Structure 1
């Protein structure tokens, strides 16, 4: 006899084995808070304390740069900085401020081999960047230079981009952008020094230009500070024929001097 739902008693042994294996995994590796390591109910979650420290970026913010406003200036408003220095990208969006538990998530993904965090972080990015995601044809990420990639073993921006692609069905053009010149770490550099540091550092390989030319590109990175890196990367994509470029990051620094622990 079988249930109308299609469940058969002949499937029961296999289901018991799978459930038993899942129970054993949970017993040996209980889910912990991604921010502080305390035990939580499910994987990919934050405890109440860490959750309370996350500051999601909501409107009002600049329609172009995504920089938050102190008060609502009305629909479609842009910041004075964007008016004075228009960025090459169409729009930039970020999910959270780079502080509290969000900062720990970035460091875990970037420095502690916590690639498992990418899916949760990507979910937050999708929520914050739905408008730029829907208006994009392909996803690329800000690349690491091959020497830094070798030392870190993986590119955290690529992990985020890959997770976003899997969750949304958007194609990810891995290798669509290359860092052709090694650069200094941006920590401690002023705006002009940051711009000089990444100028000409990116290029689209000739073999990848067909995946970029004429397409609306979404550029993904982990943290936006002054915007120098994503602007340099955007210019490289536009030179390769991208129709336009939008930017989506997990976090953004509230003020350019607030990233002293970020490399």
Structure 2
């Protein structure tokens, strides 16, 4: 009976793959499996890892002390404990992020989460995964929060709990692109709050904050500071892509 069920499942998968073959998450080329990139797009991605700043993950050109921080973190200590991104922001990374955010392709969240999961291998058993929230007006227009979809996928992959509504964006904020540092700080002031349920859940536990793209860091920094005030034991950030240089 079990063998027959496995055979039926295999046949159904083959039929689905024939009718709807898995495609590259960026360009749409047919691939040999789901949640993969074609060779050209794969080679265009710049995967991030060691050596890097122990705190913000900014890549170093050569290996340094394992606990060394970059100059930016030493000059202005971030409110988070650790930031890691799967890839550097570039044409392919941008295309995939935009597909998830604006093209109503929620399945892309699973693809991104699979590449991000390598930076979440050391999560404490009691860690909770929290998405950077969107304001309700934006969710009504878009239909979903892309960071929440990634957070839910990461929770499934890591076996950790996801708390999708413990951190909320309580006021709408303008686009931050083009703003200076002080203007960004003013725009983000008071934008986020932890719910009573979230505070009870976060207190004394490690929190993994999830976002799709890390640009200036203004949003993630404010979220991390709010989580710290709510009593989180530590706040780490993980994202799909980060801007290495603001060209």
Q: Under TM normalisation by the shorter chain, which class is it?
A: over 0.9
Deviation, structure 1 residue 242 = 1.4
Of residues 41, 44, 47, the one that matches 2:35 is 44
Number of residue-to-residue matches in the alignment: 247
Where does structure 1 lack aligned partners over 5 or more consecutive residues? Answer: 1-6, 259-263
Match of 2:98 in 1: 107
Are the equivalent residues in 2 in contact too, given 1:96–1:102 (CA < 8 A)?
A: yes
**How far, CA to CA, are the matches of 1:38 and 1:245 in structure 2?**
37
Please tell me the root mean square deviation across aligned C-alpha atoms, in Å: 1.8
Instruction: Tell me which moved more, 84-93 or 182-191.
Output: 182-191
Question: Which of 171, 174, 189 does residue 181 from structure 1 map onto?
Answer: 171
Structure 2 distance, partners of 1:135, 1:198, is 32
Residue 16 of structure 1: how far off its partner (Å): 5.2
Q: Which residue of 2 aligns with 1:261?
A: none
Query: How far is 1:136 from its partner?
Result: 6.1
Q: 1:126 aligns with which of 117, 126, 143?
A: 117
For residues 72 and 151 of structure 1, do their structure 2 counterparts lie closer, same or farther at Cα, with a shift above 3 Å needed?
Answer: same
Shift of 1:210: 0.8
Q: 1:127–1:33: structure 2 CA closer, same or farther, 3 Å change rule? A: same
- TM-score of the superposed pair, with normalisation by structure 2: 0.93
Q: 1:66, 1:181 → 2: CA distance?
A: 30
Q: Taking structure 1 as reference, are residues 206 and 18 closer, same or farther at Cα in structure 2, changes over 3 Å only?
A: same
Indicate if the aligned counterparts of 1:136 and 1:218 stay in contact, CA closer than 8 A. no
> 1:194-216, CA deviations, whole angstroms, 9 ceiling, x for partnerless residues?
22221221110123211111111
Distance in 1, Cα, partners of 2:21 & 2:80: 43
Contact 1:135 1:216 in 2 (8 A): no
Q: Which residue of 2 is the match for residue 226 of structure 1?
A: 216
Q: Does residue 1:92 correspond to 2:52, yes or no?
A: no
Structure 2 unaligned spans of 5+: none
Task: Tell me the SS of whatever aligns to 2:190.
Answer: coil
Whether 1:155 and 2:126 are equivalent positions in the alignment is no
Which residue does 1:137 correspond to in 2?
127
- Scaled by the length of structure 1, the TM-score of the pair is 0.88
Detail structure 1 runs of 4+ shifted over 4 Å in the superposition.
14-17
Larger Rg: 1
1:17 Cα deviation after fit? 4.5
